[in-house]
Structures are given as structure tokens and as C-alpha cells.
Chains A and B, each alone.
Chain A
Amino acid sequence: MGNQLKFNRFFVKYFEAIRTLVAVLIGFAISLIFIYFISDDPLKAISIYMFKPFDGIRRIGSMIEYMIPIMFCGLGMCMMMSVGQFNLIGDGVNFLAAAAVAYISTCLIPNCPPILFPIILIIAGAVIGGGFGVIPAYLQTKFKTNIVVVSLMANYILILGGVFMLLYWMRDPSKTYVGSYEIPDAARLTNLIPGTKVSTGIILAFLATAAVYWFLFRTKPGYQMRMIGKNAAFAKYSGINVVKFAILAQMIGGALAGMGGAIDILGKYDRFIWLASNGYGFDGMMIAVIAKGNPAYIPVAALFLAYIRIGADIVGQTTDVPLDFVLVVQSIIVMLVAAVSFMSGMRQKSVVKLANAEKAGAVK
């Protein structure tokens, strides 16, 4: 009896975390089921999926590399979600900022002192991200347009813009594949782990996580933004300038996503070669949803996503399973986490049991 009560108390207290964990585990189990049914040699494919990401420094490195841009996009999404908006511009500005940074470093100012250069470029990425991140936010507050539709349409435009820059402004004609000129060494971020492409970007990502957490939970504007997200009408009547802070939050969110693109390109690539979005924006949305919009949990969520993504990548390369099953798994996890009624019956039962026990205790 005592033990069960303890469990109930624990369950109610940590309900949100348990629920998220269960959703993630269900998603992971579904991914295993997919592999099992698709692959001709399921056990081998599953073991590759589960364990190969930890096999060797290069693989672990590729997980960390993957974490860098999606952490930034996730933090950006946390900012958007803090004011209660699903501004999905992150995907587009991530792409465009990467393209613009590559263009600036290869064609506009190729000669610049080493340490200053990446700083200038990252700031440029942030400015581009912030500038474009504002557009859907502004249209939404000013004209009441559907922010999801506008930001998705804007994503198509931004990605086409990035591809345009690559093809007509900075394409290296001496290469047979489509790629920009080489990004100068002075612009690139320092490599941290030899044998991998892990750069100082991961440190910046953790710094950004701490900064966003501090901003949202320890400063006045951050509090005001979270208030807007929780209850915009209440925030308005408390005297908060809702329009200003909602737009500001989304500008910061866009800036973070733009920084992510800049840091990704400067840390990992020697040329800009993307011709289509690599989906960091949706990844960022997913980890922000798993983290419930709290920046403190972003690194954990990003690590999990990097793990299944890299696992799927290896599976896609070495076995007969297409890596796109991971998109399906990601979507299922997002929907389960977002589903308010998922497991709410269990919580209800626990609460009732606790209440009954307390009543019995009080009567006795």
C-alpha cells in the first residue's frame, strides 16, 4: 500500500516528464518495428540502428555535429513557442543564413583576420535569421494571417533564394558537382575533436542554451514573453506590450536559427553544397516540443534525435532500409507528446487514489 502510494505521488508529480518519456519510447519501439518488417535481415539492421551510432569516435562525432544546428533551431523554436506561435521560419532562415554566410566569406570579404572573421559571419547569420524571422510574426500580428501557412510559404521562398545564391553568385565552375567556392580557412570554426568535424560550434550551442534559458526564466522580458504565451489577454491587460514582445521573441528565435545555419556551415563544410532543405527546422520543432519549450531540456532532446537520425543514416547506407522511416517515427513522437489526452486517464486514476488515501488518513 505504502509503496503504491509513493508510486502514485511520484507519477503525478513527474507526470509530464514520464508522459514524454513514454511517447519517445513508443516512437523508438515503432522505429524498431518498421525496421523489423522492412529489412530482409532484421536483427542485423536493428543492431546497426541501435548500436552503430556509438561505434567509434567518428560516429559519435557525427552525432555531436548533428546536434549543433538542431539545437540552435530548437532554441529558436523555444523562443517562438514561448509567445505561443508556431512560426516555422527556422527551416528557411537556417538554409538562407548558411548560404549567405558562405557567400559573404567566399565572395564579399574573403580577407579578414582569423578570430574576428567567424564572429562577423555568425552575427551576419543571426541578423539574416532575425530579419526574416520577423516577417511572419509581423504579418500575423498586423494582418492576422495564419502564421504556419505564411512561414511555410516563406520557407519555400528562402530556400529557393539560397539555391539561387549558390547557382548564380558563388558557384565554383571548376568543380563538376554543384558547390560554392571554398570557404577560407580563417572563417572556419576550430576543430575540437580530431578525426571528426566537431567544431567549437558545440560549445556555442551550449552557451546559447544557457543564454536562452537565462533570458526566458531569469529576466523581465523573458517573463513577459512567457506570460504572452500562456495567456495573451492576461498579458495585455497587465500592461505588457503584446505585439512588441511577441515580435521580439520571434526575431530572437529567427536569429538563433540563422546562427545555427552559419555555425553549421562554418564548422562542418568547406563549401556550400545544399540544394534542398535538410529539415533542421522540423527537427528543431520536434526537439522543442519534446522539451516542452524549456531550453534546459533542449540538449537532451537534441541528443536523442541525433541518435535516431544518425542510426537511421547508417542503416540507410549499410542495409536495405530507407532512412525516411525516421520521419515517420519523429512525427509519431511529436503527435504523442502533443496529445493532451494521452495517458491522462492514468494520471486521473492516480490523483483519485492519492486523494482517497489522504481522505482516509484524515478521517483516521
Chain B
Amino acid sequence: MINEAYIIDFIISCLRLATPLIYCTLGALVSMHAGQINMAMEGILLTSGLTGVLVSGYTGSIWLGALGAFAGGIIISLIMGYMNIVINADMMLCGISMNNFASGGTIMLIYVLLNNKGSTQSLKSLQFPNWEIPFIKDIPFLGKILSGQNVLTYLAFVMAVLLWFFIFRTKTGLRIRAIGMNPNAAASVGINVNRIRFQAYIYSGIFAALGGAFMTMGYLSYWAQNMMGGRGFIGISAANLSGGNVLIGTVAAVFFGATNALAIVLQTLNLKPELVQMLPYFATILGLVGISVAQKKRDEKIIRKAAMHVRLEREADAAKEVANRTAN
């Protein structure tokens, strides 16, 4: 039963399912570096997915659709930012409310525009194409995996690299990290903390909007109510357990995508779908716990090393003193 085609299919579905998670992880990472938790990821996915579909459907242009998705993501992000930064609302509460806001608001919007409460299937919208890479697609095993994916899947990995460069190698990235580590210190050297925070929210919205666009204009060809199934939160978890490292975050997102793909495979093996669908959520919780155990061990190691260092120093000092005394 397990042959080459089967494995290839599985890897491809891993990549497809990981794509929105990678975008969410990147978006969550930006806001994390700025010291904020953008809990509204789920809402951004829903909103940007819908605005993307609507704009591409009405204008007939995939590029305008992408812009529409960005606009949807940025709007939700900016509301989040405004609530957190300007009127000091609780971050968690705001995020949870924003997600509900998006889930109700999107349904209202398609009702007003399309007279339909469940999905946008009646609207003919466009999809991002798959990309067949000329020479690579002829490589025997890898060709089928590396070529023929959706352009947004490729872009996800490109974006991960760009994000790393942006956060760790540019001036704005440095400022974002500075306000995340110590906003007061950053303000004291003349950084406009709130402006950078808003910027971070906007970038985070753009990243997540790409995920939303992929869901409705790549993975599927339409938007349906509550279609995201916690993907935003899984992205936030991946960012949480990466500890700010873009590479680890991306790997974690791919791993969660793989559990999603595994769930789909297990469903075809006659396991009960309700049980199998729990798998990604279990994986998320276990991932968070696992990384915390690992971090604790690492911290303990550092402390032990430091303690040993202190002890060695003390012993050296004592030895020196004894030597001094005997010399005198």
C-alpha cells in the first residue's frame, strides 16, 4: 500500500496544509518580537480570505484580490493595534473578541453582498496558480514535490527567509526587537514606540493575510464560514514555541501541517474522523508542553554551569589567598 506515489502525495499535502500555518507563524513572530501577542490571527485569516475572494471575484484580477486580502488583514490588525496601544485594552480579551468580530462580520458582509450566509461558492473568484518549474519537475522523486506547488506555498518559504532578514538584519527589525525587549529603553533613545508597534501589527496582518489568501484562493477556491478551524491559533503556538527563532517557527509550522496531513491520511484508513481530527490540536498542546520542558532543562543547565563557575572562582580565590598567606 505504501509506495512512492503515496509518499509523494503525503509530502505534498503536508506542504499544502503547512502553508497557511507558516504565514500565521511568521505574522505571530513579528508581533512577538514587538512584545505584543496578536491573538487575532484567526480573525485575520477569515477576513483576509473573504476580502481576497470578493475583490478577485468582482474585479477579475488576482493581483487586486491579493491587495484586497492585505487590506482585510491590515484592517483587523490595526483595530487590534488601536485597542491595545491607544486605549489599553487587555491583549487576550481583545484578540478573542476580534476573532468573534471577524467570524460574525464576515458572515454579515457576504450576506449583504451575495445574499448567502454560508459560503462564497456562488461568486466565481480566481485562484493563485500552481507553478511547474521547468527542469526541476523532471527529477524523478523530488521533482514531483519541488515542482507544481501553489505559488503561495513557495512564497511562504521565501517570506520566512525575508522575515529573518527583516527582523535580524534591518534597522526597522532592530527597532521592533528593541521595543519588544524594553520599550522604555527604546523610547529613551528616541524610538517612537507606538509607531513601531503599529508597524509590527501591520506586518503581522500582511503575513497572516497571505495565509488567508492561500486558504480561499489556493487551497480551496471559495470562502466558507468558520473555515479556518483554529489555524490562526496553531500558528500562534508555533511562534510561541519557536522562542522567536524564525527557522524553528517555520519547522514547527510544517510539523503541525504534517499532523494535519496525517489526520487526513488516517481518515482514509477507516479511523473515525472525529477522533483523527483531534490530532493537530493534541500536537499543538503537546508541542507547547514539550518545548517548555526543553527550555526548563536548558535553563537549569545554564544555571548549573553558572553555579559551577562561581564555585570554581571562589575556590580559586581561596587558593590564591592561602598562597598569599603562605608567601607572607
Contacts and interface: CB of A to CB of B under 8 A. Distances in A.
Interface string A140-163: 000111101110111011001101
A328 B229 contact: no
A327 B226 CA distance: 13
A339 B278 contact: no
Contact of B272 (A168, A338, A341): A168
Contacts of B88: 339-341
A149 B272 contact: no
B323 interface: no
Given A38-B112, A153-B285, A146 B103 contact: no
Contact of A88 (B86, B96, B282): B96
Interface in B51-70: none
A186 interface: no
B243 interface: no
Nearest to B295: A144
Interface stretch (A108-116, A177-185, A329-337): A329-337
A153 B100 contact: no
Nearest to B106: A324
B105 interface: yes
B93 A335 contact: yes
B94 interface: yes
B96 A145 contact: no
A36 interface: no
A342 interface: yes
A327 B111 CA distance: 15
For the complex, would chain A's binding face be called helix, strand, loop or mixed by DSSP majority?
helix
Contact of A330 (B83, B100, B278): B100
B98 interface: yes
B278 A338 contact: no
B97 A322 contact: no
Contacts of A150: 285, 288
A301 to B, nearest CB: 15
Nearest to B284: A153
Interface in B93-119: 93-98, 100-101, 103-105, 107-108, 111-112, 117
B104 A324 contact: yes
B277 interface: yes
A144 B243 CA distance: 13
Interface stretch (B163-171, B202-210, B232-240, B300-308): B232-240
Interface residues of B, number: 46
A5 B230 CA distance: 51
A152 to B, nearest CB: 5
A157 B292 contact: no
B90 A341 contact: no
B155 interface: no
Nearest to B289: A143
B274 interface: yes
A305 to B, nearest CB: 13
B281 A157 contact: yes
B278 A148 contact: no
A152 B233 contact: yes
Given A332-B97, A338-B97, 14 more contacts: A88-B96, A145-B285, A146-B236, A150-B285, A152-B230, A156-B229, A160-B274, A164-B272, A282-B96, A282-B100, A322-B108, A327-B105, A330-B100, A331-B98
24 contacts: A145-B289, A146-B288, A148-B96, A149-B233, A150-B285, A153-B233, A156-B230, A157-B282, A160-B278, A161-B274, A161-B278, A164-B275, A167-B274, A289-B93, A322-B108, A324-B104, A324-B107, A330-B97, A331-B98, A331-B104, A335-B83, A338-B83, A338-B90, A342-B89
Ranked nearest first, the 6 interchain pairs of A and B with the lowest CB-CB distance are A327-B104, A331-B101, A143-B292, A164-B274, A331-B97, A340-B88
Interface of A: 34, 37-38, 86, 88, 139, 143-146, 148-150, 152-154, 156-157, 160-161, 163-164, 167-168, 282, 285, 289, 322, 324-328, 330-332, 334-335, 338-342
